[in-house]
Amino acid sequence: MNELALLVAATLAAGTPLALAALGLLVNERVGVINLGAEGLMLISAVTGFAVAVHTRSPWLAFAAGAASAALVAVAFGWLVIWLNANQYATGLAVSLFGGGFSAFVGVGYVGRRLGIELNYAVPGLGRIPFLGAALFREHPVVYLAVALCIFLSWFFWRTRTGLVLRAIGESPDAAHALGYRVRRARLAAVVAGGALCGVAGTVLSVAYTPLWVEGMVAGRGWIALALTVFATWRPGRVLLGAYLFGGVTMLQLTLQAQGVHLPAEFMSMLPYLATVLVLVLISRNPAWIRLNMPSSLGKPFFPTQ
């Protein structure tokens, strides 16, 4: 029983960076911008957050710096794809490649450094409930932030006027433009907000989850987050569910080993990637289902009329 509680806790912790990044990408994609640079943004913020945490010993400054660094790169990305109408795929890839190189370069001096910051804390009262306390209430605060954010985004996109306008921009930027909405500004705002969320996700990895800096430590989570938005058919609730599912798959390898399943470690490590492929195959099997749910202008450039 106790082991199960720990497994649930570990799943939540592993799913949280995925959830944050995927929610950020969802914000991007709801207004019609696909950001293949998520992996790069997460790497940049992971190293920035880690460096700030090392020097200031403040996890909150680290999160702020991580989010800001990713948002800054997202501004450049947004300017390229929204104002200069650069190809979104190519630009996102460029951001990913740049992020990989830049983070490795900046992070050279931080490899092997330890943080010694304990972020996990038991929620007063709730943390002492048997089973549930160990399973749910002894996490680092960002785990709860991800849940809150998911609820907020569901409310924001489907229950507020601004959310409706943003979704309209994602469906038909031309119609939104004709109605007088500032399509490009709204898109940039969403790209920056989404980038900042990817930044928080990256910082979670290096400051709370691992916590250390290793080159390429995001290990494809940015790409898995991209797959999650498709899997979730662009709904925040399903994103959260999918993220925890993937967190569970990550934990599955440890569980299997504990159960005495003797599979080489490399095959265990393949599980999250193979699961991503499997999920993509299952969800994309019916193209009409994707077409129905996908923001119609996703990945397409928008040229405003004069």
Partner 1 sequence: MIRLEPRAAPSRLMIVLSPILALAVTVAVAGILFASLGKDPARGLSVFLLEPLRGVRALSELGLKATPLVLCSLGLALCYRSNVWNIGAEGQFLLGAVGGGGLAMWVTMHRVAVSGWGFFPFVIVAGALAGAAWAAAVALLKDRFHANEILVSLMLVYVANLLLAWLMFGPWKDPKGWNFPQTVSFAPETTIPRVFRGMRLHWGFAVALLAAVFMWTFLFRTFKGLQLQVGGPAPAAARYAGFSARGALWTTLLASGGLSGVAGAFEAVGPMGQLTPHVSTGYGFTAIIVAFVGRLNPIGCVLASVLLSMFLLGGELAQSRVGMPAALTGVFQGVLLLSMLAFDALVNNRLRLGGGLVRSRARDPGRRARGGEEIVRDGHLAATASRQGPRT
Candidate ranges 135-143, 200-208, 247-255, 261-269; the one touching partner 1 (CB under 8 A): 261-269
- CB 75 to partner 1: min, Å: 12
Choice from 4, 132, 261, 270 touching partner 1 (CB under 8 A): 270
- CB 64 to partner 1: min, Å: 24
- CB 209 to partner 1: min, Å: 18
Kindly state whether residue 175 participates in binding partner 1, applying the rule CB under 8 A: no
Site string for partner 1, 81-120 (x = CB under 8 A): --xxxxx-xxx-xxx-xxxxxx-xx-xx------------
Q: Choose between 36 and 70: whose C-beta lies nearer to partner 1.
A: 36
**Number of residues forming the site for partner 1 (CB under 8 A):** 52
- CA angle centred on 84, ends 83 and 89, rounded to 5°: 105
Kindly state whether residue 214 participates in binding partner 1, applying the rule CB under 8 A: no
Q: Choose between 117 and 256: whose C-beta lies nearer to partner 1.
A: 256
Kindly state whether residue 257 participates in binding partner 1, applying the rule CB under 8 A: no
Cβ proximity of 25 and 95 under 8 Å: no
Choice from 226, 232, 243, 249 touching partner 1 (CB under 8 A): 226
HEC readout, the chain: CHHHHHHHHHHHHHHHHHHHHHHHHHHHHHCCCCCCCHHHHHHHHHHHHHHHHHHHCCHHHHHHHHHHHHHHHHHHHHHHHHHCCCCHHHHHHHHHHHHHHHHHHHHHHHCCCCCCCCCCCCCCCHHHCCCHHHHHCCCCHHHHHHHHHHHHHHHHHHHCHHHHHHHHHHHCHHHHHHCCCCHHHHHHHHHHHHHHHHHHHHHHHHHHHCCCCCCCCCCCHHHHHHHHHHHCCCCHHHHHHHHHHHHHHHHHHHHHHHCCCCCCHHHHHHHHHHHHHHHHHHHHCCHHHHHHHCCCCCCCCCCCCC
- CB 174 to partner 1: min, Å: 10
Candidate ranges 2-10, 24-32, 197-205, 214-222; the one touching partner 1 (CB under 8 A): 214-222
Choice from 80, 115, 207, 218 touching partner 1 (CB under 8 A): 80
Q: How far apart are CA 146 and CA 143, in angstroms?
A: 5
Choice from 179, 237, 267, 293 touching partner 1 (CB under 8 A): 267
Choice from 11, 35, 69, 276 touching partner 1 (CB under 8 A): 276
- CB 145 to partner 1: min, Å: 26
- CB 89 to partner 1: min, Å: 6
Cβ proximity of 115 and 212 under 8 Å: yes
Nearest residue to 203 via CA among 1, 57, 59? 59
Candidate ranges 55-63, 237-245, 253-261, 266-274; the one touching partner 1 (CB under 8 A): 266-274
Q: How far apart are CA 12 and CA 209, in angstroms?
A: 11
Name the residues that contact partner 1, by CB under 8 A.
Answer: 36, 40, 76, 80, 83-87, 89-91, 93-95, 97-102, 104-105, 107-108, 215, 219-220, 223-224, 226-227, 230, 264, 266-267, 269-270, 273-274, 276-277, 280-281, 284-285, 287, 290, 301, 303, 305-306
